[in-house]
A = this chain, B = another copy of it.
Amino acid sequence: MTISPVSRVPLSLEVAQRLRAAILDGTFPADTELPTETELAQSFGVGRSTIREALRVLQAHGLISGADTVSTARPRVTHERTAGAAGLALSTALQVGAIPLADLVALRTLLEAEAIRQTTSVPEAARSCLVTMAAAVENGDIHTFHAADVDFHVQLAYACGNQALGFVIGVLRDCIAGYLLDALAAVADRRTVLVRLLAEHQSIVDALDVGENDRAAEAVVAHIRGFYEPGTP
């Protein structure tokens, strides 16, 4: 019998985990550059290829920047991409069938309704999204409309004051966005749907403006359900 029951993990993965831990515990602070690949290779005592594979893993997790364009810039520790990475990962799980879309939508409904209930005032950024959406309706530009739509919900979600709530809503939104856009593109009478969606958004804002948070929450629930439930033209 062997006395080494521990299955050896590849060096690249171990390096990735150690780098990840170093970033999370602040050894490499946010918004700073990492050492060069050669320096990392020397300090870890591994080859540059190994370091590069570890860096790819960290980039996939959104912990460091780079790799989206080819440049000589050193990768930077960043925390802004983690939400996008989480959204992408969740989206992958969704596409692959690990999590049903209906469950995600139900969760999103629950969270957005709660966020609306806790919101005291509508941020200006959300209002300007309404303007953008209105303009997009005129042009029939579903991409612009959709982008503003996403932004509207996220802005509203963060206005509730609970950062965790806003964050998770944003991630869910990222994850569902693709489906929403497809659904919009598939709609025959596009303009009618856009007008209705815009009106629903407006009614949410109106309810909030007069302090009727419960009515706003109901409007959000109806808004989301109305779009995802089957048989919605």
Contact = CB atoms under 8 A, between A and B. Distances in A.
Nearest to A77: B96
Decide if the interface of chain A is mainly helix, strand, loop or mixed: helix
Interface residues of A, number: 57
A93 B166 CA distance: 13
Contact of A164 (B61, B80, B88, B94): B94
B79 A83 contact: no
Contacts of A88: 61, 89
A62 B9 CA distance: 16
Contact of A8 (B8, B49, B70, B172): B70
B99 A69 contact: no
A118 to B, nearest CB: 9
A32 to B, nearest CB: 14
Interface stretch (A102-110, A142-150, A223-231): A102-110
B90 A86 contact: yes
A107 to B, nearest CB: 4
22 contacts: A7-B68, A13-B67, A24-B92, A24-B95, A53-B56, A54-B56, A56-B56, A56-B57, A63-B92, A82-B93, A82-B98, A83-B97, A85-B93, A86-B93, A93-B167, A94-B164, A97-B163, A97-B167, A99-B163, A103-B163, A107-B165, A110-B110
